[in-house]
Amino acid sequence: MNEQETFDWDDAYANAAHIQDAATYPPRWAKDANQFRDSWPIQDIDVPYGDSERQRLDVFSPDGPSRGLVVLVHGGYWLRFDKSSWSHLAEGCLNQNWAVCLPSYDLAPLVKIEEITLQIGDAIKTAGGRLDGPIRLVGHSAGGHLVTRMLCPDTPLSADTLGRIEKVVSISGLHDLRPLRKTAMNESFDLSEGEAERESPALVRPLRECPVVAWVGEDERPEFVRQSNLLAQAWPTATCHVEPGRHHFDVIEDLINPDSGLVSALLKD
């Protein structure tokens, strides 16, 4: 057998198995998100952007004029979670006077990944219609895939909405979906070779020039570091940043701090 045949692709994408106390993170996220929603004064919860129950978004607004809109797309391998576990991650951008939208979306295996891409396009269009000004996109893991997909030649965004996007940050994003066909998760994704290629931002050139940052933790699985470097190599306006001391579950925590390097990478011109 050659190396590709013996490589353990399931382990390559198994984040929790390589993070100490991994099981404590999801309940902590949910608790922190609930506390944030209880305390943030200006919010609009469960705004519909599509027909299904999960096609809903939350919008949090700063106290004062907004500089623009940040759309934050959650991860979970297109299989789990929803917007309600991530509300607290809006805090850093809100304290820099940006409004923040967090959408949920339908999950595999109920829908295909290509359908989720379309849903995120609808969510961005809906959120953008509520607020004038520039748009910044940020997503984690599967969310990183979804926000970079918005810049691909077959983007679901209109030209007007696409033109408002000033920057995209993919945190620990997945930019080449072809290896996922070799994992057990593909029983839920049902990714064909064609869909995996179509849904891989790193295999195409972006539709327009837009600064993109592939942000990844130094202590993540090597495959996630490779995926981030891959986008930076494939897209002329993309760069890769490896954050020291961070793994797949805590790399997003700097979104809470308005003065963090991650928030700066997203919001600074």
Nearest-5° Cα angle at 120, 116 to 126 = 140
Tell me the per-residue pLDDT of 27-41, one tens digit each, with 9 for 90 and over: 999 999 999 999 999
Q: Percentage of residues in the chain with pLDDT exceeding 90?
A: 97
For the beta sheet containing 165-171, the strands, ordered from the edge strand earlier in sequence to the opposite edge, are 43-48, 56-60, 99-103, 69-73, 135-140, 165-171, 212-217, 238-243
Q: Is 257 in contact with 92 (CB distance < 8 Å)?
A: yes
Domain that holds residue 37: 3-267
pLDDT tens, per residue, the chain with 269 residues: 344 558 999 999 999 999 999 999 999 999 999 999 999 999 999 999 999 999 999 999 999 999 999 999 999 999 999 999 999 999 999 999 999 999 999 999 999 999 999 999 999 999 999 999 999 999 999 999 999 999 999 999 999 999 999 999 999 999 999 999 999 999 999 999 999 999 999 999 999 999 999 999 999 999 999 999 999 999 999 999 999 999 999 999 999 999 999 999 999 98
Number of domains composing the chain: 1
Give me the CATH number covering residue 156.
3.40.50.1820
Q: What does the block give as tokens for 119?
A: 């849903």
